[in-house]
Amino acid sequence: MAAAPQQQAAEEYVRVVARVRPLSVKEEGGDEHVALRCMEDGCSVEMLEGKDEKQAGRRFTFSRCLGPEVSQPEVFEESGIKDLLRSALKGYSATVFGYGQTGSGKTFTIVGDAAFRDAKTSGGAGLMRRSTDYLFGKMGKIENVAYSVECSYVEVYNEQVRDLLAGTKGKESMRAVRWDVQKGFFVSGLTTIQCNNSHDVGKVFRKGFSRTRVGTHDMNDRSNRSHCMLTLHIRGRQTNGTTREGKMTFVDLAGSERVKDSGSKGKMLRESGQINRSLFTLGKVISTLVDRKKKNNFVPYRDSKLTQLLMDSVGGKSLCLVVACLSPSSKHVFESNRTLQFAVRACKVKNQPVLLLNQQEKLIQELKKEVEKLRAQNRDLLDRLREIDIPETRHQSRGMGLPPSSAAAAGVTSSSLNVSPKRGQLHSEGDRKKGERKGE
Domain layout of the chain by residue ranges: 6-360
Q: What is the pLDDT of residue 371?
A: 94
Distance CA 294, CA 286 (A): 11
The pLDDT of residue 424 is 43
Four-point Cα dihedral 376, 379, 385, 390, nearest 10: 140
Note the residue count of the chain.
440
- List the one residue out of 152, 123, 121, 147 whose CA is nearest residue 135: 147
**Close Cβ partners of 414 (under 8 Å, ≥ 6 residues apart):** none
Residue 25: the pLDDT is: 84
Using alpha carbons, select from 117, 123, 130, 135 the residue that is nearest to residue 206: 117
* pLDDT computed for residue 298 by the predictor: 87
- Dist. CA 404–CA 22, nearest whole Å: 88
100 is in an annotated binding site: yes
In 72-205 the beta strands, taken as DSSP E runs, fall at 93-99, 145-157, 160-168, 171-175, 177-180, 184-187, 193-195
Can you tell me whether residue 168 is helix, strand or coil? strand
pLDDT of residue 181: 85
In angstroms, rounded to a whole number, what is the distance separating the alpha carbons of residues 402 and 124? 78
| Domain 6-360 class, CATH top level | alpha beta
How many Cα atoms within 13 Å fall on the side-chain side of residue 423? 6
Ordered per-residue pLDDT tens for the chain, 440 residues? 344 445 566 688 999 999 999 988 888 877 888 999 999 999 999 998 876 666 778 899 999 999 999 999 999 999 999 999 999 999 999 999 999 998 889 999 999 875 444 444 567 899 999 999 999 999 989 988 999 999 999 999 988 999 999 877 767 689 999 998 878 899 999 999 999 999 999 999 999 988 887 766 556 566 677 899 999 999 998 887 778 889 999 999 988 776 666 666 667 778 778 888 999 999 999 999 998 666 567 899 999 999 999 999 999 999 999 999 999 998 888 899 999 999 999 999 999 998 876 656 556 767 888 999 999 999 999 988 888 865 555 444 444 444 554 444 444 444 444 444 444 444 445 555 555 555 55
Indicate the helix (H) or strand (E) that contains 13: strand 12-13
26 is in an annotated binding site: no
Q: Are 315 and 184 in contact (CB under 8 A)?
A: no
pLDDT at residue number 175:
93
Residue 106 annotated as part of some ligand binding site: yes
Task: Pick left, alpha or beta for residue 254 (phi over 0 → left; psi -120 to 50 → alpha; otherwise beta).
Answer: beta
For residue 202, say whether it is annotated as part of any ligand binding site: no
Beta bridge partners of 119: none
Instruction: Provide the 10 A C-beta neighbour count for residue 363.
Output: 11
Is 256 known to sit in a ligand binding site? Answer: no
Q: Residue 102 annotated as binding?
A: yes
